[in-house]
C-alpha cells in the first residue's frame, strides 16, 4: 500500500540521500583502484604518502568538479564533448555501390582539398545497405579522438563509405552546420581512418577537406561543429 503521507519533499530527500550514497560508493571503489595502480607504478610510497595526505583538499576539489561534470553530461545527454541534436528524427541513407569518392564529386563540392589525393584516401569502398544516421553538436572542446571514441561504439562501426557522405550532403543537407562552420564524418580503413570536413560557405556552396583521424588539433565548442555518425546508439 502506498503511504499517502509521503510528500514530494520527502521523496526528494530520499533521492538525495540515495544519490549521495551512490557517489560515495563509486568514489570508494575508484579510490581503491587508484591506490592499487599508484602502488603498482611506484608513484605512491612511504616517503610521499604524508605529503599527498596534506593535499587532500585539492583532491576533493578535483573529484567534486569531475563528478559534477559527469553527472551534468548524463542529465544533458552529453557524450564526451557531443550532444545529440537529431533526437528521434529518422535520418536514413539509401544503399550505395561504394564507388563514388569525395575527390571526384566535383558536381557536389565547389572545392575539394587536393591533399586528399596525397593522403591516399581517394579509394572506392564496398557496397552499403540502408543506414540510419545520427547528428551531434559539439558542446565542449575536443579533438577527433574525443569526439568519436567517447560515443561508446567501436570506431569501425562509426565509419562511413565516401559515397554515403556524399549522399548525406545531398539528401540531408539541412542537417549540415552552416555559415562557414564544419560538419565532420569519419571514413577510411581501420588502420588509417580519416575525417571528412564538410563546410557550407556563406554563399551556400560546399567545400570538402580531409584530415587524418590522428590529427591532434583541439577544436573549440564555439565553432558550432557538428558530427554525423551511423546510428548505433539508443536515442
Mean pLDDT of 203-213: 94
Angstrom distance (rounded) from CA 235 to CA 233: 6
pLDDT tens-digit map of 74-91: 554 556 799 999 999 999
pLDDT higher than 50, residue 2: no
Q: How confident is the model at residue 118 (pLDDT cuts 50, 70, 90)?
A: confident
Beta-bridge partner residues of 79: 82
pLDDT higher at 184 or 235:
184
Task: Assign 12 a pLDDT band (cuts: 50, 70, 90).
Answer: low
User: Which of 160, 154, 234, 233 lies closest to 195 in space, CA to CA?
Assistant: 160
Query: Cell numbers 561504439 correspond to what residue?
Result: 153
Strand ranges for the chain from DSSP E? 78-79, 82-84, 91-93, 111-112, 131-138, 182-189, 192-200, 206-212, 226-230
Cell, residue 69: 561534470
What sign results for the dihedral spanned by CA atoms 200, 201, 203, 207?
negative
- Domains in the chain: boundaries: 8-77, 82-230
What's the predicted TM-score (pTM) here?
A: 0.69
- Quick: pLDDT tens for 39-76: 887 777 877 878 888 877 888 887 777 776 666 555 54
Amino acid at each position: 500500500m502506498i503511504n499517502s503521507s509521503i510528500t514530494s519533499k520527502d521523496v526528494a530527500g530520499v533521492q538525495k540521500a540515495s544519490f549521495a550514497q551512490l557517489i560515495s560508493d563509486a568514489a570508494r571503489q575508484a579510490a581503491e583502484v587508484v591506490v592499487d595502480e599508484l602502488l603498482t607504478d611506484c608513484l605512491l610510497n612511504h616517503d610521499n604518502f604524508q605529503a599527498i595526505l596534506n593535499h587532500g583538499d585539492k583532491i576533493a576539489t578535483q573529484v567534486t568538479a569531475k563528478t559534477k561534470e559527469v553527472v551534468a553530461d548524463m542529465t544533458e545527454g552529453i557524450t564526451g564533448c557531443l550532444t545529440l541534436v537529431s533526437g528521434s528524427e529518422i535520418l536514413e541513407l539509401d544503399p550505395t555501390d561504394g564507388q563514388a569518392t569525395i575527390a571526384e564529386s566535383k558536381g557536389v563540392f565547389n572545392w575539394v582539398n587536393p591533399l586528399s589525393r596525397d593522403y591516399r584516401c581517394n579509394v572506392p569502398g564496398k557496397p552499403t545497405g540502408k543506414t540510419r544516421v545520427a547528428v551531434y553538436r559539439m558542446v565542449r572542446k575536443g579533438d577527433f579522438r574525443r569526439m568519436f571514441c567517447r560515443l561508446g561504439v567501436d570506431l569501425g562501426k562509426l565509419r562511413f563509405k565516401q559515397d554515403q557522405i556524399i549522399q548525406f550532403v545531398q539528401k540531408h543537407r539541412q542537417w549540415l552546420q552552416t555559415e562557414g562552420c564544419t560538419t565532420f564524418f569519419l571514413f577510411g580503413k581501420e588502420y588509417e581512418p580519416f575525417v571528412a570536413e564538410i563546410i557550407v560557405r556563406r554563399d551556400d556552396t560546399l567545400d570538402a577537406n580531409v584530415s587524418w583521424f590522428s590529427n591532434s588539433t583541439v577544436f573549440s565548442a564555439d565553432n558550432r561543429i557538428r558530427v554525423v555518425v551511423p546510428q548505433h546508439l539508443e536515442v
